[in-house]
């Protein structure tokens, strides 16, 4: 006979726990406390938090168990099992401990299904609790707790630091591997929501001036090597540099800067330029940017950007008179400085020449500007000078800074460069920091939404983006 308690026993135990917690809270309330200062108040608040959180978790546990016992839920469980590509065997009811938002481990009873066959076992597939998956319980953490732990992991500088913050602020310990697993599952479900075209339109950009930009960063990806392990039994690996691509979409305010009242859209991917522009097109369509007064695309001079940017405007239905393309002014100045450094001029001549070209760019004297660039590069066999000449000639049509300034529009891509710093450099890049590709891709997405101020939007996407059974 099985020793597994049934759901009635679980519910009875939870009801008893709730009554005990209420009584504990009542005792604290009725006890005489003299608050002599901040230390006494802090101690009282901490003492109150434990039973209050436990009460909330206990009530949630009761509601979870009641839901698991409903006939409709049993039917949904069977439908999910039948939809599995790998056959599964019902191993019967088991007690599962779930950590809820208050930090309490609550026990519930539900059916456990195991994957059949040696092949499934060979691939590391064990089984899962379908009814809990349908409630969004991932890795034995509730959806709200999964969101909170992922937020710690995203905001902290490392998973180890996140673990320490969780222990100090929430009062329990979570293994780094468990945090990593939660982060990857959350990001996978949110990304699935995009793949399934289920993202709700977050804002209305109708009649606004919208800017879009993209740029690349650098992180190191760890790949394990085949062959012998080290003398200490560790797998050898290599750490190649990869360029994650980041995109940003934001509203331009009356002062020509980013409108603070509308949070930007930020996302990033390791899957190359085509995937980046596919994401950019997706978000622009979802935001119905074609209804905006103007779309400004501003970026640096990277070759992978500009032809795709022109195709992007066509894909989202923006007419040419409502779409502007601008090369970042400050990158143009860097190239002017590079060009001048190759000329045999003294410092005063170089500075004077650079300042003259900067003035011409700002005032819209593009004909005089390109003539000066041509004169400086004419007859030279220097490959770098030839490259700089080609750079300015190809981007001359993207340098209408006088027109941009007259309309109160930005002439720089500072927004996306700031995004690179905050999303990538401050979290994924650093001395001795290496990432497995799937972990990096997950953190890129979570960090992007977090820094854009759209964490709640990410969580809503994750909750509607499908199930993660692994």
Q: Where are the alpha helices (DSSP H) in 123-219?
A: 130-134, 143-155, 159-170, 176-195
Q: Of 42, 50, 54, 47, which Cα lies nearest the Cα of 18?
A: 54
Alpha-carbon span 284 to 265, nearest angstrom: 10
Question: What pLDDT was estimated at residue 286?
Answer: 86
**What are 385's two structure tokens?**
């000078």
121 pLDDT tier (thresholds 50, 70, 90): very low
Q: Where are the alpha helices (DSSP H) in 31-107?
A: 38-68, 71-82
Measured CA to CA in angstroms, residue 50 lies from 13, 96, 138 at distances of: 19, 22, 24
pLDDT in tens, 193-247: 887 777 777 677 788 899 999 999 999 999 888 888 888 888 888 889 999 999 9
Q: Is the pLDDT of residue 122 over 70?
A: no
Helix (H, G, I), strand (E, B) or coil at 399: coil
How big is the CA angle at 174 (ends 94 and 16), to the nearest 5 degrees? 50
120 pLDDT tier (thresholds 50, 70, 90): very low
Alpha-carbon span 432 to 435, nearest angstrom: 10
**What are 137's two structure tokens?**
């319980």
pLDDT in tens, 327-352: 999 999 999 999 999 999 999 999 99
Q: Of 293, 296, 292, 312, which Cα lies nearest the Cα of 304?
A: 312
Mean pLDDT estimate for the chain: 90
pLDDT in tens, 146-190: 999 999 999 999 999 999 999 999 989 999 999 999 999 999 999
Phi first, then psi: give them for residue 216, nearest 5 degrees. Answer: -115, 145
Q: Is the pLDDT of residue 410 over 50?
A: yes
470 pLDDT tier (thresholds 50, 70, 90): very low
Alpha-carbon span 138 to 152, nearest angstrom: 17
pLDDT in tens, 348-362: 999 999 999 999 999
The residues spanned by each domain of the chain are 1-135, 144-202+455-470, 205-326+413-453, 329-411
User: Lowest-confidence range among 206-210, 293-297, 386-390?
Assistant: 206-210
| CA-based torsion, 154, 157, 163, 168: positive or negative | negative
User: Lowest-confidence range among 62-66, 119-123, 288-292, 445-449?
Assistant: 119-123
Mean pLDDT of 444-455: 96
Alpha-carbon span 313 to 261, nearest angstrom: 25
Contact 273, 308 (CB under 8 A): yes
Question: What pLDDT was estimated at residue 117?
Answer: 62
The pairs formed by 138-141 with CB atoms below 8 angstroms and a separation of 24 or more are: 138/182, 138/185, 138/186, 138/468, 139/178, 139/181, 139/182, 139/185, 140/96, 140/97, 140/98, 140/99, 141/98, 141/99, 141/182
Give percent of the chain with pLDDT exceeding 70: 95
Mean pLDDT of 284-308: 89
Q: Is the pLDDT of residue 99 over 90?
A: yes
Exposed e or buried b for every residue in 154-182, given b needs 16+ CB within 10 A? bbbeebeebbeebeeebeeebeeebbbbb
Q: Is the pLDDT of residue 431 over 60?
A: yes
325 pLDDT tier (thresholds 50, 70, 90): very high
User: Lowest-confidence range among 76-80, 116-120, 280-284, 291-295?
Assistant: 116-120
Alpha-carbon span 122 to 165, nearest angstrom: 37
Q: Is the pLDDT of residue 1 over 80?
A: no
Mean pLDDT of 74-93: 88
Q: Of 442, 70, 66, which Cα lies nearest the Cα of 219?
A: 442
250 vs 33 pLDDT, higher one: 250
Mean pLDDT of 403-430: 94
Alpha-carbon span 87 to 81, nearest angstrom: 8
Most confident of 196-205, 257-266, 457-466: 257-266
Burial of 410 per CB tally in 10 Å (0-12, 13-18, 19+): buried
Question: What pLDDT was estimated at residue 314?
Answer: 87
Question: What pLDDT was estimated at residue 4?
Answer: 66
393 torsion bin: left (phi>0), alpha (psi -120 to 50), beta (else): alpha
């Amino acid at each position: 006979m099985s020793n597994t308690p049934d759901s009635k026993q679980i519910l009875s135990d939870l009801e008893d726990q709730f009554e005990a917690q209420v009584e504990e809270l009542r005792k604290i309330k009725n006890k005489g406390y003299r608050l002599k200062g901040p230390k006494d108040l802090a101690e009282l608040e901490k003492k109150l938090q434990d039973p209050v959180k436990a009460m909330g978790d206990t009530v949630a546990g009761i509601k979870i168990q009641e839901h698991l016992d409903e006939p409709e839920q049993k039917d949904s469980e069977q439908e999910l099992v039948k939809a599995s590509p790998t056959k599964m065997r019902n191993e019967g009811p088991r007690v599962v401990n779930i950590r809820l938002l208050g930090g309490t481990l609550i026990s519930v009873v539900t059916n456990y299904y195991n994957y059949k066959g040696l092949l499934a076992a060979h691939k590391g597939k064990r089984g899962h609790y379908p009814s809990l998956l349908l409630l969004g319980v991932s890795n034995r953490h509730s959806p709200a707790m999964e969101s909170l732990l992922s937020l710690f992991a995203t905001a902290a500088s490392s998973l180890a630091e996140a673990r320490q913050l969780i222990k100090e602020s929430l009062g329990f310990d979570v293994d780094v591997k468990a945090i990593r697993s939660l982060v990857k599952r959350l990001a996978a479900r949110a990304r699935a929501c995009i793949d399934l075209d289920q993202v709700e339109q977050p804002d209305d950009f109708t009649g606004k001036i919208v800017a879009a930009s993209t740029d690349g960063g650098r992180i190191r990806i760890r790949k394990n090597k085949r062959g012998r392990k080290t003398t200490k039994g560790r797998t050898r690996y290599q750490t190649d540099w990869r360029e994650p691509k980041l995109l940003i979409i934001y509203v331009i305010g009356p002062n020509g800067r980013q409108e603070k009242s509308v949070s930007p859209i930020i996302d990033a991917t390791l899957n190359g330029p085509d995937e980046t522009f596919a994401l950019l097109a997706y978000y622009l369509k979802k935001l119905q940017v074609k209804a905006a007064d103007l779309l400004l695309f501003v970026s640096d001079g990277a070759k992978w950007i500009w032809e795709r940017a022109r195709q992007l405007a066509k894909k989202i239905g923006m007419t040419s008179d409502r779409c502007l393309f601008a090369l970042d002014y400050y990158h143009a100045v860097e190239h002017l400085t590079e060009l001048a450094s190759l000329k045999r001029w003294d410092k005063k001549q170089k500075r004077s020449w650079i300042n003259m070209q900067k003035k011409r760019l700002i005032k819209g004297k593009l004909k005089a500007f390109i003539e000066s660039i041509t004169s400086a590069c004419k007859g030279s066999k220097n490959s770098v000078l030839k490259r700089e000449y080609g750079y300015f000639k190809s981007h001359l049509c993207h340098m209408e800074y006088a027109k941009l300034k007259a309309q109160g529009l930005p002439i720089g891509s500072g927004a996306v460069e700031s995004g690179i710093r905050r999303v990538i450099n401050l979290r994924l890049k650093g001395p001795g920091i290496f990432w497995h590709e799937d972990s990096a891709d997950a953190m890129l997405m979570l960090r992007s939404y977090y820094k854009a101020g759209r964490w709640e939007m990410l969580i809503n996407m994750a909750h509607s983006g499908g199930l993660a059974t692994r």
